[in-house]
Amino acid sequence: MKKTLLGLTTAAILSFSMAVQAAPIKLKFSHVVAENTPKGQMAIEFKKLVAERLKGKVEVEIYPNGQLFGDNKVLEALLLGDVQLASPSLSKFKKYTKKLQVFDLPFLFDDMAAAERFQSSDAGQALLKSVEKKGLIGLGYMHNGMKQMSASKPLHVPADAKGLKFRIMSSDVLSAQFKAVGATPLKKPYSEVFTLLQTKAIDGQENTWSNIHSKKFYEVQDNITSSDHGLLDYMVVTSAEFWNGLDADVRTELKKALDEAVVLGNKVAAEKSMSDKQAIIDSKRTNVIELSKEERQKWKDAMKPVWKEFEDIVGKDLLAAAIAANKE
């Protein structure tokens, strides 16, 4: 009896441990935007590819709209192992590296092609490693697009922004950018922006067309200036502990799936920067302002001194490499 009991126990332990070994790795992907955005679509594509290629080995769970963590908390959550993948805006890495602030400099990139060239360059690729000392691994960049400014009053020239309160992401460069035009910047989580605008606790914000559209900011802002004054892109990140703990073949497949999902996300970003702008215009809920060449130049002149303020922080060489990316 004793022997049988012991035998059963051993068998039970064995089958339990086999079940534990066979359980797929759960990969939680947390982000703050809606599913019908470039990042939301990228996450869905990634989950689909992983389900096809790593069935039974890895299972992706997506938590959009900041359901699990806001962007200011998600990097800590990665390090604690509460999530395994995130792709915060490059403006949200200040606690982990100052170098990425180069991406926030106003009017730095002439267009998305220039941003892409810089990200693919040696200098841009080296920046992915700038978070490694803090236990994070930058797996790649992803585009959202150029930012626009929205406000309760029409913004044609920098003087129009004077005295207004603008929500910004948690970046000191963005803070300096709004101070340069006499406005008051307020660092607030993305999840609070709609309510802050609706209740008029703030006067304006800056964001991409897809974020303004998907989160309905245009319904609570009377004016949007098509300014293309800055970049909102992402870094896809994981923790070194999680990533290095994976089997090499799983890691290779995950990276491949991610790269392919990012290609799709970038395509969605390029399409949405036009279609979401048009949808906002067509809604007639807000006044979309196109700047003249002279007006845009005035914004540039007012905001560009911020480069000097941050050149030692981001590094002169890095800044020069980013500027150089504007020329093919």
Q: Which residues are at the interface with ligand SIN (CB under 6 A)?
A: 32-33, 71, 89, 144, 169, 190, 207, 211, 232
Joined tokens for residue 272: 């949405």
Instruction: Write a three-state SS string for 162-183.
Output: CCCEEEECCCHHHHHHHHCCCC
Joined tokens for residue 140: 């790649």
Closer residue to ligand SIN (CB): 42 or 246: 42
Closer residue to ligand SIN (CB): 246 or 280: 280
Q: How far is the CB of 147 from ligand SIN (least distance, A)?
A: 9
- Which residue in the block uniquely carries the two structure tokens 């790269």? 259
Q: How far is the CB of 215 from ligand SIN (least distance, A)?
A: 9
User: Which position's Cβ is nearest ligand SIN?
Assistant: 190
Q: How far is the CB of 278 from ligand SIN (least distance, A)?
A: 20
Distance between CA atoms of 281 and 224, rounded to whole angstroms? 10
Please, how many CA atoms are within 13 Å of residue 228, restricted to the half-sphere of its CB?
Answer: 15
Distance between CA atoms of 230 and 314, rounded to whole angstroms? 16
Closer residue to ligand SIN (CB): 41 or 123: 41
Q: How far is the CB of 119 from ligand SIN (least distance, A)?
A: 16
Joined tokens for residue 175: 């803070």
- Would you mind telling me the total number of residues written for the chain in this entry? 328
- Which residue in the block uniquely carries the two structure tokens 């200098």? 123
Closer residue to ligand SIN (CB): 54 or 280: 280
Closer residue to ligand SIN (CB): 71 or 160: 71
Closer residue to ligand SIN (CB): 45 or 295: 45
Q: How far is the CB of 180 from ligand SIN (least distance, A)?
A: 19
The total of other beta-carbon atoms located within 10 Å of residue 282's CB is: 8
Joined tokens for residue 116: 């892409």
Question: What is the chain's alpha carbon radius of gyration, rounded to the nearest angstrom?
Answer: 22
Q: How far is the CB of 67 from ligand SIN (least distance, A)?
A: 13
